[in-house]
Chain A
Amino acid sequence: MTGIDDITRDHLHTFADGRLAPSEQTRVEAWLSEHPDDAAAVHAYRLQNTRLHEEFDPVLDENVPPGMAALVTGRSRRSSTPSGPWMRLAASVLLLLTGGLGGWLLHGQSALFPQASTSAFVNQAMGAHRVFVAEVRHPVEVPATQEAHLVAWLSKRLGTKLRAPDLLDAGYSLVGGRLLAEGARPAAQFMYEKKDGKRLTVYVRGLQDTKDTSFRFASKAGVSAFYWVEEAFAYALIAPVDRARLITIANKVYRDLERP
């Protein structure tokens, strides 16, 4: 702590970062007034820090993807269930297909299921189904030819890793998908189509603080839906087929996702 002759590169960085002790600060300032090269360096370092904040701070104002926060807050369920929403779907479907319990759940009497919000959810999902399957020219926002982009985009917006299940075996090929808004929350819809023109949709959206797992069936005007809630997300599989047929499709989804 003597004169100003022992100013090092470290001092310059510490000064630029505003971390020098006040006593040191004066010393470095004196040095810089006589050493323009070092002053230019300090100026440049500060500018770099400013630019870093200008460019990368906007992410701080974004909402944390719900799937990410759920990793921390919804931990207790996670450890014992398969990871990823589609794998959890697969687990739900497996439960459904194993017989008695599934049959009971299908009656829609499950006490496990959180009430009001989920019927609102399936109404939204079925409403979106009706609106968009009727579209001739613009059924989707991003077509299946850009599937990778579609999946990445919707995953990002919903904050979870989505996959568009392969339903070709059931005769449905992916048409594409779109981003939807349910209130202020983003929702995703994948659309599939059969050769005969029948369309199926898969609808996903994040939930707040809903952690119940269950599997339910709804049907309205010839359109059937299986829907369930898992951790921070709600899912619906909707098609103009009967319940037995929809189970078969759910089974295809399961087998598809079982593959590595």
Chain B
Amino acid sequence: MDDIHRLIVEQIPHLRRYSGALLRDREKADDLVQDCLTRAMDRLHLWTPGTNMRAWLFTILHNLHVNAARRLSRQPGQVGLDETHEDLRSAPPEQGAGLALRDMDRALGKLPDDQRQVILLIGLEDLSYADAADVLDVPIGTVMSRLNRGREKLREIMENEDTPTIRRVK
């Protein structure tokens, strides 16, 4: 196997992890990774040796995901890509332990796509803030504000789920 191919194959588990967490459906996630690899191979000549292969692949995957989501959003009854602007900051609760395993998946499902992407690229895939900005094609300031909004919303979801229902009735 060539070095370049090895670099790509090494990233497959990471692409699958990200894609699975993003789409919350293993089959769809693997379809997205397949599409990403196919496109990467078609565009291999565009990759600059010495640059970050991981960020390059995530960029391709992100673009495919956005295009697919855009197509979906044109169908009635589907949620689009628009950011939600709700103010989700609630009264600061106790330091809750938060939710159990696998509930993270459900909590992520409640976030807008753009916030989920940032949280996963940074918190799960450990991309630098600058690389995340490149992948998403937005300024780094946008990355940070999405990260903040997403994490605060996630925090609220986690702490609510950790709290018995009865306490939410105020």
Binding site for B on A (CB under 8 A): 9-10, 13-14, 17, 19, 37, 40-41, 43-45, 47-49, 51-57, 59-60, 62, 64-65, 67-69, 71-73, 75, 152, 155-156, 159
Which residues does chain B contribute within 8 Å of A159, judged by CB atoms? Answer: 30
- Would A55 and B13 count as touching, CB distance under 8 A? no
- How extensive is the interface on chain B, given as a class? 35 or more
- B118-136 interface code vs A (CB 8 A; 1 in, 0 out): 0110111000110000000
Q: Quick one: which of B13, B27, B120 contacts A64, CB cutoff 8 A?
A: B13
**Minimum C-beta distance from A38 to chain B (A):** 10
- Would B21 and A56 count as touching, CB distance under 8 A? yes
- B1-29 interface code vs A (CB 8 A; 1 in, 0 out): 10001001100111011001100001100
Bound Cα distance A17, B151 (Å): 12
Additional A-B contact list (7), CB under 8 Å, known A48-B155, A156-B26, A156-B27: A13-B148, A13-B151, A49-B124, A54-B104, A57-B17, A64-B13, A68-B33
- Would B5 and A43 count as touching, CB distance under 8 A? no
Which residues does chain A contribute within 8 Å of B40, judged by CB atoms? Answer: 72
**Minimum C-beta distance from A199 to chain B (A):** 29
Bound Cα distance A13, B128 (Å): 12
Q: How many contacts A-B (CB < 8 Å)?
A: 109
Once A52-B120, A52-B123 are accepted as A-B contacts, the answer to whether A72 and B101 lie under 8 Å apart by CB is no
Bound Cα distance A75, B45 (Å): 14
Which residues does chain B contribute within 8 Å of A17, judged by CB atoms? Answer: 122-123
Which residues does chain B contribute within 8 Å of A47, judged by CB atoms? Answer: 97-98, 158
Once A54-B101, A73-B1 are accepted as A-B contacts, the answer to whether A41 and B9 lie under 8 Å apart by CB is no
- Would A52 and B21 count as touching, CB distance under 8 A? yes
- Would B92 and A37 count as touching, CB distance under 8 A? yes
A-side interface mostly: helix
- Would B101 and A56 count as touching, CB distance under 8 A? no
Q: Quick one: which of A40, A68, A155, A156 contacts B37, CB cutoff 8 A?
A: A68
- Would B1 and A48 count as touching, CB distance under 8 A? no
- Would A59 and B13 count as touching, CB distance under 8 A? yes
Which residues does chain A contribute within 8 Å of B159, judged by CB atoms? Answer: 44
Instruction: Report 17 cross-chain contacts, Cβ distance below 8 Å, ordered by A residue.
Output: A9-B148, A14-B129, A19-B128, A19-B129, A44-B158, A48-B151, A48-B155, A51-B104, A52-B21, A52-B104, A52-B123, A55-B102, A56-B20, A56-B124, A68-B34, A69-B9, A156-B27
Q: Is B61 an interface residue (CB 8 A)?
A: no
Bound Cα distance A58, B92 (Å): 32
Which residues does chain B contribute within 8 Å of A44, judged by CB atoms? Answer: 95, 98, 151, 155, 158-159
Bound Cα distance A24, B144 (Å): 18
Which residues does chain B contribute within 8 Å of A156, judged by CB atoms? Answer: 26-27, 30
Among B5, B33, B123, the one with the most A-chain Cβ atoms within 10 Å of its Cβ is: B123
**Minimum C-beta distance from A102 to chain B (A):** 30
Which residues does chain B contribute within 8 Å of A40, judged by CB atoms? Answer: 92, 95
Bound Cα distance A51, B95 (Å): 15
Which residues does chain B contribute within 8 Å of A52, judged by CB atoms? Answer: 21, 104, 119-120, 123-124
